[in-house]
Amino acid sequence: MKAGGGITSPEPGRATIRFLLDDRIVEVHDPVPTRSLLDFLREDLGCTGTKEGCAEGDCGACNVVVGERVVAAQGERLRLRALAACLCFLPTLDGKALFTVESLKAADGVLHPVQQALVECHGSQCGFCTPGFVMSLFALFRSDEAPTAAAIRDALAGNLCRCTGYRPIVEAGARMYALGADERDWLRRPGAGSEAGESERALLARLVALERRDPLCIDGPHVRFDAPTSLAGFAALCEAHPEACILAGGTDAAPWVRKRHRPLPHLIHVGRVEELKRIVPDGGGLEIGAGASLRDAFAALDRLYPELAALWRRFGAMPVRNAGTLGGNIANASPVGDATPILIALGASLLLRRGEAVRELALGDFHRGYRQTALTPGEFIEAVRVPRPQADLRVRGYKVARRHDQDVAAVSAGFALRLDGRNVCEARLAWGGMAATPKRAPAAEAALLGRPWDEAAVRAAMAALEEDFRPIDDLRASSTYRMKVAQNLLMRLWLETRREAPLAAAQVDLRSLG
Amino acid sequence: MEAIPMSVPAAPEGVAHESARLHVSGEADYVDDIAVVAGTLHAAPGLSERAHARIRAPELEAVRRQPGVVAVLTAADIPGINDCGAVVADEPILADGEVRYVGQPVFLVVADSAETARRAARAARIDYEALPARLDLAAARDKLDLVLPPMQLRRGDPQAALAAAPHRLVAEWRAGGQEHFYLEGQVSYCLPVEDGGLHLWCSTQHPSEVQKSVARCLATTANRIVVEVRRLGGGFGGKEAQATGFACLAALAAWKLRRPVKLRLDRDDDMCATGKRHEVLYRLAAGYDDSGRILAADVEMALNAGHCADLSGAIATRAACHVDNAYFLPHVDIRALCCRTNLQSSTAFRGFGAPQAALATEYLIDTIARRLDEDPLAVRRRNFYGGEGRDLTPYGQRVVDNVLESLVAELEASSEYRLRRDAVRAFNADSPVLRKGLALTPVKFGISFNLSHLNQAGALVHLYTDGSVLLSHGGTEMGQGVHTKVAQVVARTLGVSLSVVRIAPTDVSRVANTSATAASTGTDLNGKAAEAAARRIRERLAAVAAAHFGVPLEAVGFAEGRVRAGDAEMSIAALARLAHRARVQLWSDGFYATPSLHWDEDSMTGHPFYYFAYGAAVSEVVIDSLTGEWRVLRADLLHDAGASINPAIDRGQVEGGFIQGMGWLTMEELRRDAEGRLLTHSPSTYKIPGVSDCPPDFRVRLYPNPNREDTILRSKAVGEPPFLLGISVFLAIRDAIASFAPPRVAPPLRAPATPEAILDAIEAARAGAGV
């Protein structure tokens, strides 16, 4: 590999992807595009430290850390984020820097502070989940210099451990900061720091050298993989191949392949289309590119709607939010969807593009039936537009599930309510998990509009909800429970926002205690 | 909420797990990590799609035709006995003519990759003729359709005592099963070696059983089968019996094809095919006096055994022996029924029936206390073992090591139970949505396999002439730390540093005829056996040193890697070389059998346990009455590990067991459809506790209490008993729910207490409906 030259064109007839693993460049010729990074690491490279626990992104045993160049305030940096290797299709690694559990121990055998802390805190028992915890903590170590206990738990919410009960692992997440920051080795320095040091800059230079300027196309015997580099190119491919599957974070697509053995003959990857990753101010609101990661999208939304931070914390877990996108989440049209109900309530809309043609559609009109959307063939979501907060709009987002961390909601809800003096003049109430799509509840909204925001009104809306929804029984909850909770969430909205003696968080939110 | 950085904790004391450095660096090898031999094939089972059916025509041609498929094997390919039943021969390795649950292995695909084998297995088109399927435990109970004869343990005259009691309580109740969710799924790798031999690497808690079953399945002898286990990525009982069938399949394919074969179950297949904790249906009756003291109890436990016996007999026995938990039950009738259903075969799971049994009694006592409007802790205390004539268990063993009262008193004080009881009441009086609950529950757990003959172990210790030590014993390392503790025992006995003792993989060719690493006995049994082996070596070395230095034997001592003989000393390595030149044996076996155990299966009486381990927990929870969501705010655990060999490891067992027990009774719910298909077959649908479920305030201590029995270094077994401490979370949730009920009403609460179950219970409580 020549340094500094960059890759300008693929070899004719042959597709080669390249990525950095520690100090070496890994080259893969004609990879099977749907091969997972996990299988590649374990089977092809013999890097068996990364474990398979579930192969669907729900246990964290295969977590790795992927580094990408980003432009920060103080110049170019390497941004490190934890990802589930089982959810990464191999070609999406092209041009990136990969770190696995085997990357961290120094050549002289000295453990990385993350590893040393886990040993000292007795954070491993059977040890099988441990490499995944190491990598989640390593990503935290490199991005946060002094995390709160809550931030440590957030970083670990996608990792399952069946042995320890987690206490020693959380303690290791604090203890690692007390163990030998090594100024010479940037990987052993906690926090991102203000600017890149020498070794980080060297790594960035190697990534620049690896950068592919042209679109990547792997035309394999069973699967074709396209990674265009511009919005126009992306749109053209989608228009020309309306049957292709658009691949964003792979958090849904990878399990389709691995678990359901579903063929995906053509993938068009959003990951290298910079225009789709942008998050830009939009008249006081935000325009969030459909390819922006959930983590970036939520960070931006937090600045607009801080009251929703706790809801985003429960969306998947860190590796899923690092990989997944808001556009992908909306396009896959889950009946539950943690984000969609609240975005509907906020009055979000979608920019849909087909070729050159762009139209805007209210998010509430996008989902047409179970896993069905308003997208026409060749059309895709370009961006999500979220309006600016209005001063008198009361906004709440709720998620109800049996587990706090990384669970699918039984019921989710998003509410936006405005009072005109004492009467309700605007009410957008949306639920997930109550129907084939996330949707608003017109009868419940009608029961509130024009009425004083009092207990009688909220009880009327709760009753009206039974006209709006006939939820189903499934493994997560019964129909009865869903309806009861959906109604109770309206009661909660009222308790939290009523004019007289509204309840504080400590009186309604069990996470605010202790 | 928590804006300040988490303070940096000091490094806790204690010897680290022997593999800790390997775990954190990714260098610890599990079976799937072993570098495979060229030519290795991969196998995947084809699983039954019906709960009960006759196989009319297994159409496997389509499977064979898939590219990459090398062979498709069925029951007809098994040369020996098609059975992997742990106790009763009723569990086919591959279904033969009939399937008995959805997920049962029917055939085995062997292919060039795991992905190919799994994909090909789905191409099968099997023509089933439906047979009546029994999916409901209650129906199996009512028809008395059992996989084993019913068991009864009876003392006194329970019916008369019930009739005469001032108060009576009758209830039907149910507790759910539990998936083990070991992070490493079932996996075996089998390499054919010369002369019909097989070398198997297997993630099993019971290598000797795998050896025996493989030999039987292949109609060969045990001495040709080597089973090796370095470590398991979690077991919890789920690899005691359940690993055997899959090991047999890998061995069958390797034997048949003369090629190395790996079988690693996909997570979803693992969860659909393998057994779980027994779900249980209770019929409970208790008679009690005005103080809440139980005068008589009648407890029927209908255990959902699934399609075959598996270990259900032993589990039912342990269940019967743990209905008493910490309490003296003067008149008692305990019945345990192992009910047959067309579901996965329920199997061993941490606690082995004891959690289900103790839960019933804890639920009864909690109910009694609520009916009497008393603090449940006060009623518990009145029922504790102890006091004149109150020390005999229903099965006739005397409780001679009882520390319940002092342990609970210490925990009551250190947890500030009384203050917090008042604080919870005050909080609830003023809280419309959130409610708190508090509960203290104890555990008394019998240590030893109920079946006396299993309480034996062997070890092999080698001292090399460079002074390094290699230790082998019959226990398997699944995270519980048995290797670390046994190595500590050997290091201490030989007077060497722990760093010179290396643990060899568990291997049936080094130590033969081992018992499963189960029943919490791993360190008790293997530690004693290894100590005996090391002691013999030390005695021989001492004689050499005494002769060499011309001092009496009593003047020879071993410490810190050196031998001291009077005023002289030398390194143990030098002494080993001296001994070797003197032709003294530097390796030794060791054997141990737990003394004074006996058990009569028919009368269900005897002295099945060497001793009891004790503990108690106080949990404080908060519930959300709008959604049924809940959270533990604080947990205080005090647990008796005897004179702990490794407090760090023991604390890990206590904490981990508590969280796992909490998971069983709260978020972990097995759901099936009307055809008997498991719907919760992956971590996306089956939820074990996550990091946010760990109590933010978690205070765990070991109770110093050297074992009065001559156990290894006076320690106590610690693997299973703390699992039962999770019951305190369940009853704390019930306590919170009871704040919505009128006085003297004990609200009903299903187990697991999912948010939905909690919301239902709140509704019942508000309506004044009680148990």
pLDDT tens string B152-208: 999 999 999 999 999 999 999 999 999 999 999 999 999 999 999 999 999 999 999
Cα separation, B655 vs B667, whole angstroms:
17
Whether residue A349 lies inside any domain: the answer is: yes
Q: Both A165 and A44 in a single domain?
A: yes
Cα separation, A215 vs A233, whole angstroms:
9
Q: Which residues of chain A are within 8 Å of residue B479 when distances are taken between CB atoms?
A: 124-127, 163
Q: Between chains, do A119 and B16 touch, taking CB under 8 Å as contact? A: yes
Of B461, B725, B762, B476, nearest to B585 by C-alpha is B461
- What percent of the residues of chain B are helix, what percent strand, and what percent coil, each to the nearest 5? 30, 25, 40
Whether residue A56 lies inside any domain: the answer is: yes
Residue in B115, B183, B766 to test binding to A, most A beta-carbons within 10 Å: B183
**Neighbour-count burial of B62, counting CB atoms closer than 10 A to its CB (0-12 exposed, 13-18 middle, 19+ buried):** middle
Whether residue A327 lies inside any domain: the answer is: yes
Identify the pLDDT of residue A7. Answer: 47
Identify the pLDDT of residue B5. Answer: 84
Give me the residue from B629, B683, B698 closest to A58, CB to CB. B683
Give me the residue from B6, B22, B652 closest to A125, CB to CB. B652
Of B184, B209, B531, B720, which is the active-site residue?
Answer: B720
Give me the residue from B2, B8, B622 closest to A148, CB to CB. B2
Give me the residue from B696, B700, B755 closest to A400, CB to CB. B755
3-state secondary structure B389-458: CCCECCCCCECCCCCHHHHHHHHHHHCCHHHHHHHHHHHHHCCCCEEEEEEEEEEEEEECCCCHHHCEEE
Could you tell me how many CB contacts below 8 A there are between chain A and chain B? 299
**Residue keyed to tokens 């729900």:** A58
What digits encode the pLDDT tens for the residues B70-119?
999 999 999 999 999 999 999 999 999 999 999 999 999 999 999 999 99
Q: Where are the domains positioned within chain B?
A: 403-450+609-771, 456-593
Answer yes or no: is pLDDT of B15 > 90: yes
Q: Which residues of chain B are within 8 Å of residue A407 when distances are taken between CB atoms?
A: 687
Helices (H), A76-158: 113-120, 130-143, 149-156
Q: Is the pTM of this model over 0.95?
A: yes
The sheet with strand A63-72 has its strands ordered as: A24-29, A16-21, A97-99, A63-72, A75-84
Identify the pLDDT of residue B662. Answer: 98
**Active-site annotation holds for B49:** no
B771, B367 contact by CB (below 8 A): yes
Q: Both A58 and A179 in a single domain?
A: yes
Q: How many residues does chain A have?
A: 514
| Mean pLDDT within A102-111 | 94
Q: Between chains, do A405 and B693 touch, taking CB under 8 Å as contact? A: yes
For B136, other C-beta atoms within 10 Å of its C-beta total 16
Whether residue A2 lies inside any domain: the answer is: no
Identify the pLDDT of residue A6. Answer: 43
For the domain B403-450+609-771, what is the CATH code? 3.30.365.10
Question: For residue A247, what is the domain's CATH number?
Answer: 3.30.43.10
Of B626, B420, B725, B632, nearest to A514 by C-alpha is B632
Q: Both A340 and A304 in a single domain?
A: yes
Please name the helix (run of DSSP H) or strand (run of DSSP E) that holds residue B237, with its range, or none.
none
Answer yes or no: is pLDDT of A8 > 50: no
Whether residue A11 lies inside any domain: the answer is: no
A304, A401 contact by CB (below 8 A): no
Instruction: Give the list of residues 6+ apart from residue B617 with CB closer than 8 angstroms, or none.
Output: B411, B440, B441, B635, B636, B637, B638, B658, B725, B726, B728
Q: Both A149 and A118 in a single domain?
A: yes
Q: Both A256 and A288 in a single domain?
A: no
Residue in A87, A162, A164 to test binding to B, most B beta-carbons within 10 Å: A162
Closest-CA distance of chain B to residue A245, Å: 21
Greatest extent of chain A over all pairs of C-alpha atoms, in Å: 73
Q: Which residues of chain A are within 8 Å of residue B689 when distances are taken between CB atoms?
A: 165-166, 403
A508, A492 contact by CB (below 8 A): yes
Identify the pLDDT of residue B460. Answer: 98
A55, A259 contact by CB (below 8 A): yes
Q: Which residues of chain A are within 8 Å of residue B268 when distances are taken between CB atoms?
A: 259
Q: How far apart are the two ends of chain B, measured CA to CA in Å?
A: 39
| Domain count within chain A | 4
B226, B507 contact by CB (below 8 A): yes
E strands, A3-60, are 16-21, 24-29
Q: Both A243 and A164 in a single domain?
A: no
Question: For residue A21, what is the domain's CATH number?
Answer: 3.10.20.30
Closest-CA distance of chain B to residue A492, Å: 8
Identify the pLDDT of residue A199. Answer: 86
Between these two residues, A184 and B535, which has the higher pLDDT value?
B535
Q: Which residues of chain A are within 8 Å of residue B684 when distances are taken between CB atoms?
A: 54, 56, 58, 408
Q: What is the DSSP string of B535-586?
A: HHHHHHHHHHHHHHHT--GGGEEEETTEEEETTEEEEHHHHHHHHHHTT---
Q: Between chains, do A484 and B759 touch, taking CB under 8 Å as contact? A: yes
Q: Both A160 and A263 in a single domain?
A: no
Identify the pLDDT of residue A5. Answer: 38
Whether residue A3 lies inside any domain: the answer is: no
Please name the helix (run of DSSP H) or strand (run of DSSP E) that holds residue A440, with its range, or none.
strand A439-440
Question: For residue A421, what is the domain's CATH number?
Answer: 3.30.390.50
Identify the pLDDT of residue A182. Answer: 74
Structure tokens of A53? Answer: 């626990």
The separation between CA B326 and the C-alpha centre of its own chain, rounded to angstroms, equals 20
Q: Which residues of chain A are within 8 Å of residue B667 when distances are taken between CB atoms?
A: 402-403
B441, B658 contact by CB (below 8 A): no
Chain A nearest-CA residue for B350: A163
Q: Both A221 and A160 in a single domain?
A: no
Q: Both A39 and A135 in a single domain?
A: yes
Of A513, A94, A32, nearest to A264 by C-alpha is A32
Q: In the listed set A386, A409, A424, which residue is the last one of a domain according to the structure? A: A386
Give strand pairing partners of B559.
B562
Q: Both A32 and A46 in a single domain?
A: yes
Q: With cut-offs at 50, 70 and 90, classify the pLDDT of residue A9.
A: very low
- Full domain range(s) for residue A455: 393-512
Q: Both A66 and A143 in a single domain?
A: yes
Chain A nearest-CA residue for B623: A510
Indicate if ipTM > 0.95. yes
Q: Both A79 and A123 in a single domain?
A: yes
What digits encode the pLDDT tens for the residues B693-712?
999 999 999 999 999 999 99
Q: How far apart are the two ends of chain A, measured CA to CA in Å?
A: 55
Give me the residue from B6, B26, B630 closest to A148, CB to CB. B6
Cα separation, B501 vs B483, whole angstroms:
10
What's the whole-number average pLDDT of chain A?
Answer: 94
Chain B nearest-CA residue for A156: B691
Q: Quick check: do B403-450+609-771 and B456-593 share a fold? A: yes
Closest-CA distance of chain B to residue A161, Å: 7
CATH number assigned to the domain with residue range B456-593, chosen from the 4 options 3.90.480.20, 3.30.365.10, 3.40.50.300, 1.10.10.10: 3.30.365.10
Question: For residue A363, what is the domain's CATH number?
Answer: 3.30.465.10
Give me the residue from B431, B660, B680 closest to A507, CB to CB. B431
**Residue keyed to tokens 């047409």:** A368
Closest-CA distance of chain B to residue A358, Å: 36
Spell out a b/e string for A220-247, using b for 16 or more CB atoms within 10 Å of the CB, else e: beebbbbbbbebebbbebbbebeebbbb
**Backbone angles phi and psi of B139, in degrees to 5:** -65, -40
Q: Which residues of chain B are within 8 Å of residue A124 when distances are taken between CB atoms?
A: 17, 19-20, 23-24, 479
What's the whole-number average pLDDT of chain B?
Answer: 97
Measured CA to CA in angstroms, residue A144 lies from A137, B329, B462 at distances of 10, 56, 48
Q: Between chains, do A485 and B759 touch, taking CB under 8 Å as contact? A: yes
Q: With cut-offs at 50, 70 and 90, classify the pLDDT of residue B8.
A: confident
Answer yes or no: is pLDDT of B252 > 80: yes
Instruction: Give the list of residues 6+ apart from residue B192 with CB closer than 8 angstroms, or none.
Output: B198, B254, B255, B258, B259, B260
